[in-house]
């Protein structure tokens, strides 16, 4: 869901066979509380904060199902759907009225 908010009109992520090829894929809003950013790092990040739960890099994980192959075997495809790749000055970001927006820092490091 969060990827839909940062991948507007990216033709390689669209399937015109689904219908309405002339309709823009730009969305008006996405509310995503802590969405995954990089599937390949998720298990490592969970382990770092002390959580030993669901594994994301296994062959039977949701992420591997989404990619149609175990994610560790297709790192180039994972990079293609990594959200920071699509974040740019055209994508508005807001984090609420009491916190600073982090996007400028993300843009400088990608």
Contact 85, 71 (CB under 8 A): no
- Total domains in the chain come to 1
Domain that holds residue 71: 2-109
* 38, two tokens: 């990089």
Tell me what the mean pLDDT of segment 106-110 comes to: 45
Instruction: State phi, psi for 109 to the nearest 5 degrees.
Output: -105, 0
Q: Which of 103, 102, 108 has its CA nearest to residue 91? A: 103
Alpha-carbon distance of 35 to 5, in angstroms, equals: 11
For position 91, what pLDDT does the model report?
A: 63
Whether the full predicted model's pTM is greater than 0.85, yes or no, is no
Mean pLDDT of 85-92: 64
pLDDT band at 59 (very low <50, low <70, confident <90, very high): very high
CA separation for the pair 102, 95 (Å, rounded): 8
């Amino acid at each position: 869901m969060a990827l839909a908010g940062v991948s507007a009109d990216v033709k390689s992520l669209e399937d015109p066979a689904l219908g309405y090829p002339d309709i823009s894929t730009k969305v008006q809003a996405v509310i995503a509380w802590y969405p995954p950013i990089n599937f390949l790092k998720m298990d490592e990040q969970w382990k770092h904060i002390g959580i030993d739960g669901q594994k994301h890099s296994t062959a039977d994980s949701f992420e591997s199902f989404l990619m149609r192959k175990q994610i560790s075997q297709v790192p180039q495809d994972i990079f293609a759907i990594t959200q920071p790749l699509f974040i740019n000055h055209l994508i508005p970001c807001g984090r609420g009225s009491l916190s600073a927006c982090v996007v400028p820092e993300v843009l400088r490091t990608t």
